[in-house]
């Protein structure tokens, strides 16, 4: 269960439309996103060439981001209680 893990960052949304920014240039690579609603965006910053896979097989979406710069690490983002789609993710 990804929620039993220790996270480097926890991002919490509000009732309105939110943008959840994930800075891929950082060493930290485990994020938890709470309160993701329709119209919200997961924004991947700092590595426009990164690719991602979305796993919606459980109650939460697990987004695995393969980075192309820096240490070439994989950043894992657990989005609690939703099924993500590619339309919910933006590279900047």
pLDDT at 3: 58
pLDDT of residue 4: 60
What is the predicted pLDDT for the residue at 69? Answer: 82
Rounded to two decimals, the pTM is 0.90
pLDDT string in tens for the chain (92-residue length): 455 668 998 999 887 778 999 999 888 899 999 999 989 999 999 999 999 999 999 999 999 999 998 778 999 999 999 999 999 999 98
pLDDT of residue 1: 44
Numbers of helices and strands, H then E, in the chain: 0, 8
């Amino acid at each position: 269960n990804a929620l039993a893990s220790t996270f480097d960052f926890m991002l919490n949304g509000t009732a309105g439309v939110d943008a959840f920014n994930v800075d891929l240039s950082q060493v930290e690579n485990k994020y938890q996103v709470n309160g993701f609603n329709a119209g919200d965006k997961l924004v991947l910053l700092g590595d426009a060439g990164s690719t991602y896979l979305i796993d919606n097989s459980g109650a939460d979406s697990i987004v695995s981001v393969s980075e192309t710069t820096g240490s070439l690490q994989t950043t894992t983002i657990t989005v609690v209680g939703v099924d993500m789609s590619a339309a919910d993710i933006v590279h900047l």
